Each structure stands twice: as structure tokens, then as C-alpha cells.
Chain A
Amino acid sequence: MPALSLAAQEAGRGGTREFLGLGPPPDAAAAKKGEPLYAANCAACHGKTARGGQAPDLVRSVVVLHDEKDEEISALVKNGRPQAGMPAFPGMPQEDIHNISQFLKLQVELTANRGTYGQTYSSLRTQTSGDPRKGREFFEANCTACHSASGDLSKIGARFPQATTLQARFIWPAHSGPVHAIVTEKSGRIITGTILKFDDFDVALRDARGDYHYWPRAEVQVKVDDNLGGHRALLPKYSDADLHNITAYLATLK
């Protein structure tokens, strides 16, 4: 699971980067080397994360965003901006400038590319402020007709270690797998099976024997299996505190 989600995350950030037209990705190794150089030479004025201090924000910087191959950043670092109080660093090696530039581009990436947020904020998303005791009270009052903390949900906290994922899961545990339906024809004949297509005009099923069935939507009655009724009924009742408390409680079920 972790390997898969990491790969998916990589694909997600690359896809978002391409969509946003952010150009080539920053060089992570160079950015790592650039981090202490930035801290030693730039952070005092431009801020620890380059979002500005007494000197301008370098993440939303026109110079940084326009720089392609260090040409703009190099010129600025080497010559400074004396009239604005930015000192020149004429002796800074080109490699150091490159590494600082990659560090800055990484900060741009972490801000602009929302595909990176999942990774950046993963630890935050594993925490919950809820009260497990109150969550248990809610669970026992509302959920035990269908679920059991010692039965079907006994390992739910281990299955969904990220609090936000666990929360979304219990609010609406829809699955993307096959959906079952019962179709009643005008003649009264009933066919059950797995939905292949179901919209305002067409209904198609595959039955247990593997046979395909099609009907115009208007000609049949369709009853789609819906075991989410309990979850649906709770949607308008939850307070945000209820959600966080239930999450905290379910997280203890390992």
C-alpha cells in the first residue's frame, strides 16, 4: 500500500505540474544542498522559507518565476540591488547559486503545485483533535445497528492510518466496485445482476450466469442496492466535532 500510494503521489505531482505549466521540476538533490546556503546567506532578510521578511518574498518573485537556467537569479545575486539594500555576492560560486536557485524553485513547487500537498502535509493529516471517548458515545448511539467495534471495524484504525482518509471513509464509504441492481420489467419479470450502465436513458446488467441484458430506462423499474442509507441519514446530523471525535475513536481500533 505505501509503495503504491507514493507512486500515485509522484504521478499526481507530475501531472499537476504539467497541467500548471510549471516547467521542468526542481532538482531535489541540488535544492537540498542549496538549503543551508540559503539559510546562511539569504534567510535573514528573505525569511526562512523564502516567503519574505524585511526583503521581498522570493516564492512569489517575478525574477524567480521567470528564471529558467539561473540566468536571472545569478545576475541578481552577483550584482545585488544596491539601491534596494540587497548586497552583491560577486564571489559566490556558480554551483552555490545554482543550488540556492533550485532550493527557491522547490519552494515555488511546494506552493504552486497542489499535487505536492499530500506529501508535504501528510503528518498534519494523520493527526486529529477529536475526543475518542465522545466518539465512542456517538458510535454506540448511532452506528452499532450495522457495525461493531470488535467485529467488522476491529482493525479500521490500522487499515486507514491517515486520519483524513479514515474520516472520509466512515462519512461515505462508497466503493468503486461493481454495483448490484434489481430490474423489474413491465411483464413483472425480475432480473438481478451487476450494473454495466445506468443513466437516464439506458440500463444494462450482467446477471450471475454472465448474460448481458439491456433495457431503455423508461421501460423498467430499477432498484439499485444501497447499503449507505445509514450513512446518508447521518450526513445532516453531524457536527464537525462529531466527525473529529468519531475519527479519533475509530483510530483507536487497531
Chain B
Amino acid sequence: MTVGRTTDKWSRIYWDGYDISGISRSLGPTGIVYDEPELTTLQDAVKGYQAGHPQLNCAAVNGVLDNTATTGLHTVAQTAGAKRTLLVAYGQLTEPAQGDVCFGGQFMQGAYQSNSDGGAMVVTMPFQGWAADATFNPDARPFGILLHALSAVTAVNSAVGVDDNGGATAKGGYMIYQVTASSGGAHTGTIKVQDAAVNTDISFADLTGCTTGVITVTAGVSGIVKATVLDIRQFVRWQIVLGTATSLTFALGLVRA
């Protein structure tokens, strides 16, 4: 992880277990927007507002009309009106790495529209906000950190983690996982988050509840999982347990509430 500003060419976007970075042209805005009920009284000199319900959303993903079987954007996105699990990793002038900013959740894809842009056929997928049928309704914070950039893993993680917050938090959080490939047997495995108060391998323990459990980890598998405890210690890292899978290609983000 480096610190500073970056450019969009280093962003990566994962959609329902597929890496669509190479066929996406732009995305966003991503983030949180609050309703703002006006509560101005007669004697107020200026209008006053309070924060209402926040909206978490990735406003749109724009890409090329690519009908590649299985992984093409047309293939994975043409069915609108569906819940999509998104994870966006913002690399810092290089490929995304552990500790980089990420954004993610489950959002309602409201449309799939193709049109021409300067002669090229492109598609737009606008989102309406957090999906009502998402795995859970999150707290009002959609940005987190990337714990694992998309790559293949064949063994458990014994490396140190990352300090994303400068201290522990006590409001819970959730992870977003995207599996794009695997190999071996029936492809079973577990993806989870671990935390620690001290950034040494031996100090890390599973963050309670923040695990997929044993799942089939083939391409196209994704989801969000909420920790069942509120306390998340200062340092966090990814972890896996290989079942019948011998290799697991995935990206993982963690959002602290």
C-alpha cells in the first residue's frame, strides 16, 4: 500500500465473482449520501438540515458490450433488476494491494442499457442503492480496506496484517469476498477475516462470524458476511482454509462500521 492520490486505471472492479476490470470503462460515484430533511424554524437566520437516511450506492458501472461466454459483461450483467455483489479496489498508482481503499456491498442493479459511444457499443448499469434483499442491512459506511488483492492462494496466510484504523473499533463490520477461480476436487474452502491487537502472525485469531464457512469456491461465487461481534482489533488480515480446493483465486475487502 502506498499513500497519496491515484488514477482510475488502477481501479479494479469485481462483480458477482467475476473480474470485470478489463471490460469496464468507468464507475461511480461510489459512496454514501444522506437524505437531508429541512428543519428550519421561523426565527432561523438560515435554513437548517439534519441527516436522514443514508444511501449507499455505486451509481453506475459503465463498460463495453462484451458477450464473452461466462465472464463477459453482457453475460454477467444483462439481467437487470437483480442484486449484485460489488467490490471495488482502488490501487494507489499500482495494482491494488492489501491496505488499499475498497468499496463494496450488495446493490440493486436497476437497468442494463446499451448504446453507441463514438462508434463503440457500450453498456451502462445504473444502481439504485443497497439491495433490500441483501444478506443484511449494513451500517452507514461502505468504504473499507482491501485485505486481499485478486490473486491465487494455495496456502494459509502466515503474514502480518494491516493497520487500517490506528486502533480497534467496537461497531462491527462486514467482509466482501469475490472468488474468480479455483482448482482441485470439489472446490471447497473457507475465506475469513482475522484480527489481532499485535501485528504478528501468532496473534491473529478469527474475527467471529466473519467467515464464509465451508463453501464451494468456484468462479462466480461472491457475497458479504457480517461479523457477529462488535469488537474488531487494530490489525486485520485475510485467511483461508482449503478444503478440497487446492488453489483459490479471490479478492477480499473489510468494512469497519
Q: Do A and B come from the same complex?
A: no
